[in-house]
Amino acid sequence: MTDTPYPASGLFSAPFLSRKTSTSRPCLLVPTLALLAQLAVAAPARAQTLAAPAGSSIASAAAKGRLLGSVVHEKTGAPVEFATVALLEQTTGNTVDGAICDDQGRFVLTKVKAGLYKVTVSFVGYQPRTVENVAFNTNESVVDLGVVKLAPSVQQLGEVKVTGERELVENKVDRIVYNAEKDLSNAGGTASDVLQKVPLLSVDLNGNLQLRGSTNIRVLVNNKPSSILASNLADALKQIPADQIKSVEVITSPSAKYDAEGSAGIVNINLKKNNLEGVNGSVNTSLGTRGAFASGTVNSRQGKLGLNTNVGTNLFLNLARNQSRRTDFLPGGQQSTLEQRGDFTNFGGGYFGQLGLDYDLTPKDALNVSVRGNVFNFTNSRAQFTRFVLPTVQDEYNREIENQNGSHNLDLNFGYTRTLPRPRQELSFLALYTVNNGQTNYDLDQQRYTDVSSYIDYREKGRNDNRNQETTFQTDYVQPLDSTKTLEIGVKSILRNVRSNYSIEADSLNGRGFELVPSRSNQFRYDQNVYAGYLTYGFAVGKTLTFKVGGRLEHTRIDGDFMSDQARLQTDYTNLVPSVQAAWDVTKDQKIKLSYNRRIQRPSIFYLNPYINTSNPRNVLVGNPGLDAELTDAYELGYNTYINKSSITFSGYWRQTNNAIEAIARTVRAQDVLPIADTTRLLYTTFQNVARNATYGLSVSGSTKPLPKWNLTANVNIYYMWLRSQALNLENGGLMHNANITSSWEFDKGWSAQFTGLFNSRRVQLQGLASGYRSYNLAVKKEILDKKGSFTLAVINPFNRLLIFRNDLASDQFTYTDNSYFRNRILRISFNYQFGKLENRPARPKKSIRNDDQKEGGGQG
């Protein structure tokens, strides 16, 4: 083989790798795990050559020795891409240096000093091989190991049996990873159920997602944005079955390479995918008291071509009741009172499908294309009684309201990656087109009562058609300067186009039927174009300190108008977004990290849409198209350590936003916002850039294995939030917390069980408080059919038939209390069956676009 040198691309920490991927018997692990293992070796923070400890007999900067070789499959002779090569002292076994093979299986280690060594070659899915007594007689010796053959761990499996132990929660340098596929109670649920259990996250039953107490987060699917999540995050999370989720990543301190996303961070949902040779698939079904779903997946890879497809359907049912009371303070010391109560039912579901293709054009050129579609509809049927009492007037009526909501989504993704000659040198071109078409319609009949009968005195129809379209182009380039320094540069453009066409028709039963109400009907157009460029530089100082600094420049142009009255909105702004990350490997098992970044959070259509839904005329919510982007400074200090079979992470953080978008509620006369001659007051809620939001917190998460069959994972997040608005002369603050604990036990004969507890304290709002909640999950699993299939029985909230949510608001104009009671005791049984015949194939990294910059909303009913 050629002896052209290839710079060493990473170090190899054998003790760390064995702890993470240890197996009880030889097995074939999925390539996703292989990729994680290789990334642990090749990450820039570890890309430096690992020198021997100070004082070692083999440490020398003058050494020029080289170790060459190549790694191939024992039977086929095919190169083993990205295999790990470690150079160790023969006598002590201490790691001296390491490298990753290139796409031809070749490797080279440089600067090897005279001495006696052994060489270990490994790759997930293969049996490791060690070459003993490799002698370097001088500091300039060149040793060629020739061809090193690796034997597969298992031959021609009819199924994949993963016996390696992965933690339920993994703490990495820049993120926390929750391995959802290891959680038994997720079977048959939705993404909302999964996210409730992820450290640092909290989800209420309306679907509102928070990260460390902030809703300023961006949710991605497979590292890229999705139109499924674009318009209403709460509803969208119900569309993704839990059984399709492999893991959830929480990135609290994104680098400049990411879009200048909001204050809290990024939540990335990784769906299950496959990089193995052959054909395999799975069938998943679930039936419960609050929903059902069925899905099927088929993956195929032969040679350079890989195909994967997934189709399914899901249904859900929510039952709840609601009570609210509002007291308005009127001039002259008088008061009015509004009381409302009702029952409602949410029922809906949809269909989803996905098709992906990846093709290796050449050993250095990879192409991937995917399309994902979704059709989702649900109906909210509500009966609501209203009593409005003035000092001299009492108004009582009942409304039968039916809300119909639907969405149709399509994501098209294209990626091309070119691997350049130097290790880790890479150029990629990415494109994304995503569109969401949504419809929100309601019909209501208003009834009044006499002593002997009831009659309908008013009817109304509301229609809102909205469209959210994004087109994105992105180019990224990675340039390794040497084994410890890496430069990343890229450009990106996001072209967003939003449309909202809304109308109201009313029938006052005057004989004319339904008539358009022009003052409550309009068409809204909103275009937002973002042009960005970034530069990051990663480097190491010595053997234990790594840094990554960068900056991102983003220019935003906004152009919007109301087509009916020609009201126009135009603005543009430019933001510089710096980021600094530092990590210190105190010891092999202890790490400290420090980070600072500035983030920008643009409002999404949820906050901008000016459509007024008046199905409840006493409480209305409307978006504000004049909102500005939020700017947030975030600081974090973290400490991670491993003690025997336990890991624990402490993180202290502070973030501050000076123009935070907050929901503002006030009472106004109905005739001031609605085209009716009504001087009674309604609660009018919209969004404004009015608050300074400061959050100070400490989070602790950890996992341990007290006994060989017992796994225990827990996390606690305690934080203090202070909200202040000088414009509104309002301020509020308080100490809050959220926590979860998961305990699982592996029994014999394929049985296992798991308990999960979720705890969320009350939440502070600018004008009040929202209550917390508790939830408990129990699950039992039995593997059957030689572990090809499994049944899971889960019970959610066996101790609580109802979950109660209380929302309290107050100002000098009003006090408002709202109580919602959700039926949430759930019994669910799920079945999973896996089929197929697979062989190991090294996974090639596939890149995709991430749009992480919009403030999402949802869960408002």
Q: Which residues pair with 777 in a beta bridge?
A: 756, 796
C-alpha–C-alpha distance, residues 247 and 177, integer Å: 7
C-alpha–C-alpha distance, residues 822 and 805, integer Å: 8
Helix 14-21 × helix 31-42 angle, to 10°: 160
CB 80 within 8 A of CB 126: yes
Domain ranges of the chain: 14-150, 277-855
pLDDT, mean of each 10-residue run, the chain (861 residues): 35 31 34 34 34 36 81 83 84 80 83 90 80 90 90 49 52 70 71 73 58 68 58 58 79 68 69 62 90 88 82 91 92 87 92 89 87 92 90 84 92 90 86 92 89 87 91 93 88 92 89 86 88 93 89 90 75 88 86 88 77 75 84 90 80 90 84 71 86 91 85 89 86 91 89 89 90 88 88 90 88 91 91 71 54 54 32
Q: In sequence order, what E strands does 588-729 have?
A: 590-603, 619-621, 630-643, 646-669, 681-707, 710-725
The pLDDT, as a whole number, for residue 808 is 92
The pLDDT, as a whole number, for residue 173 is 53
- Amino acid residing at 809: L
Write b or e for each residue in 746-782: b if 16 or more Cβ atoms lie within 10 A of its Cβ, otherwise e.
eeeeeebbbebebbbbbbbbbbbbbbbbebbbbbbbe
The pLDDT, as a whole number, for residue 701 is 83
HEC assignment per residue over 720-787: EEEEEECCCCEEEEEEEEEEEEEEEEECCCCEEEEEEEEEECCEEECCEEECCEEEEEEEEEEEECCC
CB 834 within 8 A of CB 280: yes
The pLDDT, as a whole number, for residue 17 is 30
For 174-223, what is each residue's pLDDT tens digit? 677 878 877 766 776 677 777 767 777 766 444 557 676 566 677 777 76
The pLDDT, as a whole number, for residue 61 is 45
The architecture CATH gives domain 277-855: Beta Barrel (2.40)
Other CB atoms within 10 Å distance of the CB of residue 271? 17
User: Matching CATH topology for 14-150 and 277-855?
Assistant: no
The pLDDT, as a whole number, for residue 47 is 32
Q: Report which DSSP code applies to 192.
A: H
Which of 617, 683, 680, 682 minimizes the C-alpha distance to 384?
617
- How far apart, in Å, do the first and last CA atoms of the chain sit? 66
Helix (H) or strand (E) run with residue 19 in it: helix 14-21
The pLDDT, as a whole number, for residue 570 is 82
Task: State the burial class of residue 592 (Cβ atoms within 10 Å of its Cβ: 0-12, 13-18, 19+).
Answer: middle
- Amino acid residing at 19: R
The pLDDT, as a whole number, for residue 212 is 66
CA distances from residue 693 to 131, 501, 607, 664 in whole angstroms, order as listed: 59, 33, 18, 14
CB 236 within 8 A of CB 229: yes
Helix (H) or strand (E) run with residue 21 in it: helix 14-21
HEC assignment per residue over 65-99: EEEEEEEEECCCCCECCCCEEEEEECCCCCEEEEE
C-alpha–C-alpha distance, residues 183 and 742, integer Å: 9
Q: Give 535-547 as a DSSP string.
A: EEEEEEETTTEEE
C-alpha–C-alpha distance, residues 537 and 45, integer Å: 11
Q: Which residues pair with 285 in a beta bridge?
A: 294, 831
The pLDDT, as a whole number, for residue 209 is 72
C-alpha–C-alpha distance, residues 83 and 453, integer Å: 81
Tokens in use for 598? 């500035």
In three-state secondary structure terms, 670 is helix
Helix (H) or strand (E) run with residue 236 in it: helix 233-237
- The domain made up of 14-150 has a fold known as Immunoglobulin-like (2.60.40)
Phi, psi of 185, deg, nearest 5 = -75, -5
- Tokens 């009570």 — which residue? 323
Angle at 690 between CA 688 and CA 695, to 5 degrees: 115
Q: Alpha-carbon Rg of the chain, whole angstroms?
A: 29
Phi, psi of 339, deg, nearest 5 = -120, 130
CB 232 within 8 A of CB 367: no
Close Cβ partners of 600 (under 8 Å, ≥ 6 residues apart): 260, 261, 262, 554, 575, 577, 629, 630, 631, 632, 853
The pLDDT, as a whole number, for residue 256 is 67
Other CB atoms within 10 Å distance of the CB of residue 267? 22
For 522-556, what is each residue's pLDDT tens digit? 888 889 999 999 999 989 888 889 899 999 999 99
The pLDDT, as a whole number, for residue 172 is 61
C-alpha–C-alpha distance, residues 818 and 339, integer Å: 10
